[in-house]
Amino acid sequence: MKENMKSIVILGGGTAGWITANLIAFHWKDRDIDITLVESPDIGIIGVGEGSTPPLKIFLELIGLDESDWMGRCEATYKVGITFRDWSTRPGFSEYFHPFLCQPDEFSVPAFFHNSFLRRKGVDLDGHPSQFFLAWELAKARLAPVAPPNFPFEMNYGYHFDSAMLGEFLQDWAAKRGVKYRQATVTDAVLDEQGYIDYLKTDSEETIKADFYVDSTGFRSQLLQQKLGVPFDSCEDVLFNDSAVVFPTEPEENPTPQTISTALKYGWVWKIPLTSRFGNGYVYSSKYVDDDDAEMELREHLGLMDSDIEARKLKFKVGRVREHWAKNCLAVGLSQGFIEPLEATALDMVQETVARFIEAANKGNFTDQYRDEFNQRISKRFDAVRDYIVCHYRINTRTDTEYWLDAGSRGKVSNSLRELLAAWVSGKNITDELERQNLDAYFPSVSWNCLLGGKGIYPTDEQVRPGNELAHQYDLEKISSYLKGCALNFKPHQEQLRVIRKVA
């Protein structure tokens, strides 16, 4: 990295490239750096990735966007969490909700922790998570999570959107902030004598030169993996999905503001509401089912057996690079790695990578001083997300196919996850365990409690004893009416989406 860095080339114009362009243009607006995004006219974007986590809202607000600016143009809807369906066969736990936590939950979450903790110790209390969160009330009643001005709590939510449209929108926004755009297919990168990228060569024999390069070329990872040879550590031993088949279906008038993830025979299906359609995608392992059978299973699941809608089929690889920033190149997006999309964390990783890179570059006065620290930090985040996703599979109780049997046992889970699971089943406080492992910044304790409690990793009804001896028991009816009362403040999802479009 050069202390007097004057130019950056971002190679790749998928969502990762355009988020990077906007963040760099925003944070370094006073540094007189020339930013150019180069995109191949011949290589398409991946074109999936329709669900976000709440940090996307923070990014969009940071770069100066209101919901009315972008949501209508990207066919976006609100997202308050994810329902997981048919992952567990434990009675009473065939379905649970993983919410985005918001401020009103501060009054009800202590009851969830209390019940969940004592249920693990064999006391007959209801530890099923969904009922303790406002997001679940909103999802059930199909209400948008946008609070009226007099609602005294902060809300927290993400979005669903058409990823290609979001990319186009962010491209326009970046252009207004001075980011240049060039179409060219890069065929090679030429290194200088120290192994840094000197310049790029294109298929029309042109050269493109910059002080620093961002590799956002998707799974190709043209610069970081292919040219600089940074190794890729796969995690396919524990996460063996490598394929997806995708279909749109008709939209609903007032869709529930959540993603639904339903386990099928060889993986799981997402159902994501957009204003113009539902996005549906079956994520599966080609080692257990061939692509045509997977398509048939999805068609059957969606009731589309007679439909002539064409399916899109995709392949992907799971894992991450060993270094995200090497020499004068930063990989962002699929080029740095991918953990399957079960919790829709990929764009969050993009934002986090760019934000931490900017922080490290600023702190080191545009030198490589904090590069190793940065790389470790991002890798740790990847690994923490990987473990949370691996846990979904590890604790499944389906026995209908080899796929699910293997998912529960094959491969070696990390020590971190093993210790976390051991803490849970031995009745220890897992908030303490997450803090001990310094993992609470990734998926917080509530998320782990939802995952483990939601899939019913508890003593069964036959194994528990009554809770009569307890000094304190929470009144679940009161909690329910409190959350229902809060929900009265919110508009139907569709109505809020109309308001947003009218403001625009």
Positions that interact with ligand FAD (CB under 6 A): 11-17, 38-40, 43, 45-46, 48-52, 163, 185-186, 216-218, 220, 222, 244, 281, 283, 314, 316, 333-335, 341, 344, 346-347
Shortest gap between Cβ of 487 and ligand FAD (angstroms)? 26
Q: Which is nearer to ligand FAD, 161 or 424 (CB)?
A: 161
What is the per-residue DSSP string for 424-440?
HHTT--HHHHHHHTT-T
Q: Which of 79, 265, 271, 455 is catalytic?
A: 79
- What are the residues facing 232 on neighbouring strands? 321
Name 322's Cβ contacts closer than 8 Å, sequence gap at least 6: 230, 231, 232, 233, 379
Q: Closest by alpha carbon to 329, among 434, 418, 223, 408?
A: 223
**Helix or strand holding residue 159 (H, E):** strand 158-160
Q: Which is nearer to ligand FAD, 14 or 456 (CB)?
A: 14
Helices (H), 395-457: 402-407, 415-425, 430-436, 445-454
Shortest gap between Cβ of 380 and ligand FAD (angstroms)? 19
Please tell me the total number of residues recorded for the chain in this structure. Answer: 504
Asked if 79 is an active-site residue, the reply is: yes
Burial class (CB within 10 angstroms; exposed 0-12, middle 13-18, buried 19+) of 207: exposed
Q: Which is nearer to ligand FAD, 185 or 249 (CB)?
A: 185
Q: Do the Cβ atoms of 426 and 452 come closer than 8 Å?
A: no
Determine the Cα–Cα distance for residues 131 and 231; give it in Å rounded to an integer.
Answer: 44
Shortest gap between Cβ of 462 and ligand FAD (angstroms)? 39
Which residue's structure tokens are 């923490």?
A: 384
Q: Do the Cβ atoms of 69 and 185 come closer than 8 Å?
A: no
Q: Which is nearer to ligand FAD, 43 or 413 (CB)?
A: 43
Structure tokens belonging to residue 213: 């390069």
Shortest gap between Cβ of 202 and ligand FAD (angstroms)? 8
What separation, in Å, do the N-terminal and C-terminal C-alpha atoms of the chain show?
Answer: 42
Q: Do the Cβ atoms of 29 and 177 come closer than 8 Å?
A: yes
Shortest gap between Cβ of 241 and ligand FAD (angstroms)? 9
Q: Which is nearer to ligand FAD, 348 or 433 (CB)?
A: 348
Shortest gap between Cβ of 197 and ligand FAD (angstroms)? 13
Q: Do the Cβ atoms of 265 and 401 come closer than 8 Å?
A: yes
Q: Which is nearer to ligand FAD, 216 or 396 (CB)?
A: 216
Shortest gap between Cβ of 58 and ligand FAD (angstroms)? 14
Q: Which is nearer to ligand FAD, 127 or 218 (CB)?
A: 218
Structure tokens belonging to residue 388: 């949370």
Q: Do the Cβ atoms of 267 and 260 come closer than 8 Å?
A: no
Q: Closest by alpha carbon to 260, among 271, 268, 249?
A: 271
Q: Which residues are catalytic?
A: 79
